[in-house]
Amino acid sequence: EAGVVQSPRYKIIEKKQPVAFWCNPISGHNTLYWYLQNLGQGPELLIRYENEEAVDDSQLPKDRFSAERLKGVDSTLKIQPAELGDSAVYLCASSLGYGVDTQYFGPGTRLTVL
């Protein structure tokens, strides 16, 4: 069974440029999560989807971050414009359905904003 796929693995951009991350969850997983992880810290939830509905986006900085999950499968997270402080690892995870306990993570996208 294929795991959670993320691309790109690494991205380096200048500040004020836009950037997008893509995630393909495990087949059949209804719930998709985007996390941000800084070095030496645990993941911090940005947004959670149940199928195509964003059910928890309270920690997503909506002035510059946006996300979508068309057809309840793949998802894209966008930052526009990027700031220096956005440098971090962006992790995507999926689970069978909310309330089912185990989350499966992709390898993450390491973003560096110069």
Residues that bind another protein (CB under 8 A): 4, 40-45, 48, 56, 91, 93, 98-99, 101-108, 110
**Quick one: 14 or 101, whose CB is closer to another protein?**
101
- What distance in Å separates the CA atoms of residue 103 and residue 55, rounded to the nearest whole number? 17
**Distance in Å, CB of 106 to another protein, minimum:** 5
**Distance in Å, CB of 87 to another protein, minimum:** 16
**Distance in Å, CB of 78 to another protein, minimum:** 20
**Quick one: 14 or 27, whose CB is closer to another protein?**
27
**Quick one: 19 or 36, whose CB is closer to another protein?**
36
